[in-house]
Amino acid sequence: MKKHSLKDWLIAVRPWSFPASAMPVIVTLAYLYWAYGVIDWKNGVLALVGIIIFHASGNAWSDYFDFERGVDRADTFGVKTLTSGQFMPLEIRNLAIGLMVPAVAIGLWLVVRTGLPLLWVGVCGAICSLLYPWLKYRAFGDFVIFVAYAILPTLGISYITVGKFLPDLLLIIVPVGLITVAILHANNTRDIETDVRAKISTLAMKLGKKTDILLYIFEVIFPFLWIVGCVVLGYFPWWSLLTMLGLLPAIANARAMLRLPKEGISAISNLDEKTAKLQLLFSLLFTVTFLI
């Protein structure tokens, strides 16, 4: 096997995608601090580290199965760690398993510190990660991502920092979760042709390109309308409108998706990365509004 640098290993776990898992946690911590005052920051930071490691493991796990299934080939978009021959499949599989160990250890330690209810959140997260490739191939990928990177982390963070599951966290889950799912939806819309060749089924394939375009626009624009609605109803402070600064890149991303019918895949070749950056910007602005 080839020797790999630290940079190679970092690229293999796709760090640009980490905001999808990290930012829901960070926004939730900021919201809980704003709404409830006293929270357990130590547990929150520990959970943040664990979730990022868990995400890295999931990325490697997904790449391994995509390559073995023939979904990822030399002519597909995305990371080329396996398709270029840079890494062997066994290395990526072992990387996924190796990263899962500390992620699970952190989760179990948090269970010891807080209580058994957290264990069920962790078990659901592990199931989502392990079954994600199988579910993605059957058009459930978007649903799994919303559960694994929006619902579960948000509920888990509330339990380990405040001591209970809070229903008002739905206010956070919806906007952050939709943009997170949009990252995957942009990726799957771009990859429809290669996914057809691999004989798998994604939600983007089921809906068709016209509906895919509308769904993506909804996923990146509706969160801003949600924030405005929550401010008007008094759920968020008025300065939460600071998130509107992210509306311009959201519109730019939506316009890129609208060019898909005329310009083809080239119009959205890197839209998943742009959507990840949008999610990072939106979530950072959202976080700041709760800390002002």
Enter the pTM of the model.
Answer: 0.88
Q: Which domain holds residue 82?
A: 15-290
Decide which of 173 and 79 is more confident.
173
Q: Is residue 144 part of a domain?
A: yes
231: which residues sit within 8 A by CB, 6+ positions away? 237, 238, 240, 241
pLDDT value of position 79: 67
pLDDT value of position 73: 67
What is the arithmetic mean of pLDDT over 13-35? 90
DSSP assignment of 106-169 equals: HHHHHHHHH-THHHHHHHHHHHHHHHHHHHHTBT-HHHHHHIIIIIHHHHHHHHHHHSS--GGG
- 101-115, 129-143, 179-193: which has the minimum mean pLDDT? 129-143
pLDDT value of position 183: 93
Q: Are 96 and 57 in contact (CB under 8 A)?
A: yes
- Per-residue pLDDT tens digits for 228-270: 999 999 999 999 999 999 999 999 999 999 999 999 988 998 9
Q: Is the pLDDT of residue 103 over 80?
A: yes
Confidence category of residue 81, pLDDT binned at 50, 70, 90: confident
> What single-letter DSSP state applies at residue 238?
G
- Residues 24, 253: Cα–Cα separation, whole Å: 21
What is the residue whose two structure tokens read 């801003």? 224
What letters, b where the CB count within 10 A reaches 16 and e where it falls short, cover 187-206?
A: bbbbbbebbeebebbbbbbe
Q: Is the pLDDT of residue 125 over 90?
A: no
pLDDT value of position 86: 76
pLDDT value of position 77: 66
Q: Is residue 7 part of a domain?
A: no
* Element at 273 (helix H, strand E): helix 271-291
Q: Is residue 188 part of a domain?
A: yes
pLDDT value of position 179: 96
Q: What percent of the chain has pLDDT over 70?
A: 96
87: which residues sit within 8 A by CB, 6+ positions away? 2, 4, 8, 12, 81
Decide which of 11 and 117 is more confident.
117
Q: Is residue 6 part of a domain?
A: no
- Residues 65, 132: Cα–Cα separation, whole Å: 10
pLDDT value of position 72: 67
- 7-11, 143-147, 150-154, 260-264: which has the minimum mean pLDDT? 7-11
pLDDT value of position 178: 96
Q: Residue 76 has which token pair?
A: 């597909």
- Per-residue pLDDT tens digits for 181-223: 999 999 899 988 877 877 888 999 999 999 999 999 999 999 9
Confidence category of residue 1, pLDDT binned at 50, 70, 90: low
User: How many domains, in total, are found in the chain?
Assistant: 1
Q: Is residue 1 part of a domain?
A: no
DSSP assignment of 84-98 equals: TSSS-HHHHHHHHHH
What is the arithmetic mean of pLDDT over 110-129? 89
Q: Is residue 19 part of a domain?
A: yes
Q: Is the pLDDT of residue 274 over 90?
A: yes
Q: Is residue 82 part of a domain?
A: yes
Q: Is residue 166 part of a domain?
A: yes
